Amino acid sequence: MSKRIFTQEQINTLLNNKNVAKCSEKSISYHRDFKLAAVRRYQEGLPPTAIFTEAGFNLALIGRKEPKWCLERWRSIFRKKGADGFSKEARGGPGRRKALRPMSDQEKLKYYEAQIAYLKAENAFLAKLRKQR
């Protein structure tokens, strides 16, 4: 995450760009179509800074390295999921937390028994360490 903080004036400037979906003090969200077009232009051999400059971005404002970082992420998404990877519903992945389903009483019992066994083993290990001192 960048340490830059956008002023309200800078946020308004960025929001006036048709390729920006949202902008806050700390981040810029780009439109799906821009991401897709940028990846395709990059595959044609255009450098990231040229793609962003042509799209109307001030590199001094967004950061000189931002285009390269964005295109690295977007190319990875495009390789893995194709154009559908840029839709909001397709974002996230294995690192995202899954919603917990309700557990039955039997499952809860099994879970808590495992927790108790783990904590007992941990306490025994710590007691053994204390004795060694």
What average pLDDT does the structure give for the chain?
88
Q: Is residue 52 part of a domain?
A: yes
- How far apart (Å, rounded) are the C-alpha atoms in residues 14 and 28? 8
Query: Whose structure tokens read 């000189």?
Result: 64
- How far apart (Å, rounded) are the C-alpha atoms in residues 118 and 11? 50
pLDDT at 14: 93
Q: How many helices (H) and strands (E) does the chain have?
A: 6, 2
The pTM of the full predicted model, rounded to 2 decimals, is: 0.64
pLDDT at 81: 87
Q: In which element (H, E) is residue 4 found?
A: none
Residue 119 has pLDDT above 70, yes or no: yes
Whether 75 and 126 map to the same domain: the answer is no
**How far is CA 118 from each of CA 7, 108, 111, rounded to the nearest angstrom?**
50, 15, 11
Whether 15 and 80 map to the same domain: the answer is yes
Whether 18 and 80 map to the same domain: the answer is yes
Whether 18 and 67 map to the same domain: the answer is yes
Domain membership of residue 116 as a residue range: 101-133
Whether 21 and 83 map to the same domain: the answer is yes
Whether 86 and 111 map to the same domain: the answer is no
Q: Is residue 2 part of a domain?
A: no
Number of structural domains in the chain = 2
Whether 105 and 86 map to the same domain: the answer is no
Nearest by Cα to 28 from 19, 41, 37: 19
Whether 114 and 82 map to the same domain: the answer is no
**56-60, 94-98, 102-106, 116-120, range with the lowest pLDDT:** 94-98
